[in-house]
Amino acid sequence: MTTGTVTATYSARVGANGLFVVAGEGELVAHANAFLATVTLRGFSPRTVRAYAHDLVVFFRWLASTPYALADVGERALLEYIGVQREQEAMPRSINRRLASCRLLIRYVSGHEPERTTSSGHYRGPGRDRNLGLHTFRPRRRVALRVKVPVTLIEPLTRVQVRQFIRGLRRYRDLAIVYLMLLCGLRSLEVLLLEIDDVALDELRIRVRGKGGKERAMPIPELLRRLLARYLDLERPEPSNTKQLLVVLKGKQRGQPMTTSGLRSLFRYRRRETELHNANAHRFRHTFGADMARAGVRLPILQRMMGHAQAETTLKYINLAMTDIAAEYRRASKVIQRRYRSGR
């Protein structure tokens, strides 16, 4: 079963052992297969291994059109690769992910990072004054070659938009999905990975399987507990051969685990019905982060709730929306205006 569009010698396929491999011939394929097998043995998730495989396919297709061998790929060659990706209008985050996959493969094969043949283009300053010894600077960590990612502000959904989206949902399952994101901050995949045993309704708690196999416990509000209980009692087909919490309710796949495409179609259908073009699944998770920040939840607690490894990631999620900035500005502006108001 092909997992990607085949336009050149290399393509990503599912091997007999279940690993995502790069199909084709030659040394590149052997290196790629060994690398993918290694990251699989290290416990990386199948989705991560699949992402590496597809990234390497894109890289190998470009490499096949150049005079470079894998051993010759340094930062100058990677800059050419970036140029091609730019011409193909790849997104900056996608380019950076592909560059990271390339560096990992090169380090796996050669034992070192790609040869540095280019300057960063930044002025680093004079460094330490060796004569006077007034300043001691730590050695600068080598910065990997990356593409600048524009900083974008994602506006959380408003109360009116959330109510408009939810109003048309008729199934307890669908309502529970939205509230798991809106009230607990779960990612789409985390929602789909929930198992029946992960839900402790009596304790108002769920167990969440996050990125990298990291688990966390999240409290659930009474509203969500009631929705999940009604879904389990009234909608979920019994008997079902899966331990997954969320299953298909109609059609030939009735009782089978709900898929990523099924969840996407749910949100896509509601966006068309409500004309809320920004109401995707991740936007509900972002709204959760913004609501928690507005309510005064401390950053370390919110980081734990959202399953972020780095606090910087949580800060990006709670960037103030324009409506918050405007409200704070109006509040402060009234005080400032009184201070400078003329006595006339």
The DSSP secondary structure of 243-255, one letter per residue, reads: -BS-B--SSTTTT
Judge whether 67 lies within some domain: yes
Judge whether 121 lies within some domain: no
Q: Are residues 43 and 101 in the same domain?
A: yes
Structural domain span for residue 318: 159-325
Average pLDDT on 316-321 reads 67
Judge whether 259 lies within some domain: yes
| Tens of pLDDT, residues 164-182 | 999 989 999 999 999 999 9
Place of tokens 């070659």: 145
pLDDT at 141 over 60: no
Query: Lowest-confidence range among 190-204, 302-316, 320-334?
Result: 320-334
Q: Are residues 206 and 294 in the same domain?
A: yes
Output the CA torsion sign for 65, 69, 73, 77: negative
DSSP letter for each residue of 81-104: HHHHHHHTT--HHHHHHHHHHHHH
Categorize the per-residue pLDDT at 127 as very low, low, confident or very high, splitting at 50, 70 and 90.
low
What pLDDT, on a 0 to 100 scale, did the predictor assign at position 311? 82
Pick from 110, 139, 167: which residue ends a domain?
Answer: 110
Q: Are residues 95 and 169 in the same domain?
A: no
* Termini Cα distance of the chain: 81
Q: What percent of the chain has pLDDT over 70?
A: 83
- Domain with residue 221: its CATH number is 1.10.443.10
pLDDT at 248 over 60: yes
Categorize the per-residue pLDDT at 295 as very low, low, confident or very high, splitting at 50, 70 and 90.
confident
The neighbouring-strand residues paired with 207 are 217
| Tens of pLDDT, residues 206-238 | 999 988 778 899 999 999 999 999 999 999 998
Q: Are residues 103 and 163 in the same domain?
A: no
Q: Are residues 290 and 225 in the same domain?
A: yes
Classify burial at 186, counting beta carbons within 10 Å of its beta carbon; exposed 0-12, middle 13-18, buried 19 or more.
buried
What pLDDT, on a 0 to 100 scale, did the predictor assign at position 188? 93
Residues 279, 161: contact at Cβ < 8 Å?
A: yes
The closest of 65, 70, 59 to 110, measured between CA atoms, is: 70
Pick from 77, 110, 143: which residue ends a domain?
Answer: 110
Q: Are residues 196 and 258 in the same domain?
A: yes
Q: What percent of the chain has pLDDT over 90?
A: 42
The mean pLDDT of the chain is 83
Q: Are residues 181 and 57 in the same domain?
A: no
How does DSSP classify residue 14?
A: E
Q: Are residues 186 and 321 in the same domain?
A: yes
What pLDDT, on a 0 to 100 scale, did the predictor assign at position 274? 87
0.75 exceeded by the pTM?
no
Judge whether 57 lies within some domain: yes
How many CB atoms lie under 10 A from the CB of residue 116?
Answer: 12
| Tens of pLDDT, residues 29-86 | 888 889 998 998 888 888 888 889 999 999 999 998 899 988 889 888 999 999 999 9
**Radius of gyration (C-alpha) of the chain in whole angstroms:** 25
- For 69, 293, 338, the CA distances from 343, given in Å and listed in that order, are 78, 40, 10
- Locate 238 and state its tokens: 């019994």
What pLDDT, on a 0 to 100 scale, did the predictor assign at position 198? 95
Average pLDDT on 127-141 reads 51
Judge whether 87 lies within some domain: yes
Q: Which residue has the higher pLDDT, 284 or 335?
A: 284
pLDDT at 262 over 70: yes
User: For residue 114, what are the contacts with CB-CB under 8 A and spacing of at least 6?
Assistant: 73, 74, 75, 77, 78, 102, 103, 106, 145
Residues 224, 166: contact at Cβ < 8 Å?
A: no
pLDDT at 115 over 50: yes
pLDDT at 156 over 90: no
What pLDDT, on a 0 to 100 scale, did the predictor assign at position 227? 96
Judge whether 119 lies within some domain: no
Judge whether 191 lies within some domain: yes
Q: Are residues 181 and 282 in the same domain?
A: yes
Q: Are residues 51 and 190 in the same domain?
A: no
pLDDT at 19 over 70: no
Average pLDDT on 309-316 reads 79
User: For residue 263, what are the contacts with CB-CB under 8 A and spacing of at least 6?
Assistant: 177, 188, 191, 192, 281
What pLDDT, on a 0 to 100 scale, did the predictor assign at position 81? 94
pLDDT at 293 over 80: yes
What pLDDT, on a 0 to 100 scale, did the predictor assign at position 208? 94
Q: Are residues 164 and 267 in the same domain?
A: yes
**Domain tally, the chain:** 2
Q: Are residues 105 and 163 in the same domain?
A: no
Categorize the per-residue pLDDT at 195 as very low, low, confident or very high, splitting at 50, 70 and 90.
very high
Judge whether 20 lies within some domain: yes
> What CA–CA distance (Å, rounded) separates 102 from 58?
10
What pLDDT, on a 0 to 100 scale, did the predictor assign at position 212? 74
